[in-house]
Amino acid sequence: MLAELGGRPFSFYPAIVGIEHNEWTLVAETWAELLIRNTREPGLEIGIPRRAVGEISNTTDPVCIVGLKQELEYRAGQVWPARRTVLDMPAPPGPSKPEPVRPGEFDTLRGGSPGAESRVWRLIVTTMEVV
C-alpha cells in the first residue's frame, strides 16, 4: 500500500464519522493495520484495521481516494464500526386502539335518533346484498 500512495495525501470514502477534516497521510503500516495522520491536525494519529480498507483510486489528482469497506466512527481515540441507531417513535397520546362503533351508536353520540342510524345501516346492507 505504501508504494501505491507514494507519500501523497489521501481521503477516505466514506469519510470517518466524527472527524471533520478528511485528508490523511500514511505514517506506517503493519500486517494488521495502517497508522495514519490527519493533515490538518498533526497530533491526530489513528490506526485503521486493514480488513476495513478497500481499493485505492487510480487517479492522478492531488488527493487519492481510499475506499473503506465499512463506515467507521472515531470515538475515544480509536475507530469503531459506525452504528446507526434507529429510534422508535413514541405512541400517540390517547387510547392505543380505537373502540369499535356499534350500529346506532354514532348518531346517538351526535344527538341523532337511534332509529335513523338503524335505517341507514339497513339501506347499506340491502344495497350490498343486491350488488
pLDDT interval class at 98 (50, 70, 90): low
pLDDT for 38 equals 92
CA-based nearest residue to 26, from 14, 17, 34 = 34
Shared domain for 70 and 105, answered yes or no, is no
Shared domain for 128 and 65, answered yes or no, is no
Shared domain for 16 and 73, answered yes or no, is yes
Shared domain for 106 and 42, answered yes or no, is no
- Is a pLDDT exceeding 80 seen at residue 8? yes
88 within some domain: no
The tens digit of pLDDT for each residue in 28-68 reads 889 999 999 999 988 899 999 999 999 888 776 777 889 99
pLDDT for 2 equals 60
Beta-strand (E) ranges in the chain? 10-13, 24-29, 33-38, 45-49, 53-56, 64-68, 72-75, 78-81
Shared domain for 69 and 120, answered yes or no, is no
Tell me the whole-structure pTM to 2 decimals. Answer: 0.59
| DSSP alpha helix (H) spans, the chain | 2-5, 105-110, 114-130
27 within some domain: yes
- Lowest-confidence range among 18-22, 32-36, 86-90, 97-101? 97-101
Shared domain for 70 and 21, answered yes or no, is yes
Shared domain for 70 and 125, answered yes or no, is no
Domain enclosing residue 108, as ranges? 100-131
* Average pLDDT of span 67-89: 86
Domains identified in the chain, total number: 2
pLDDT interval class at 3 (50, 70, 90): low
92 within some domain: no
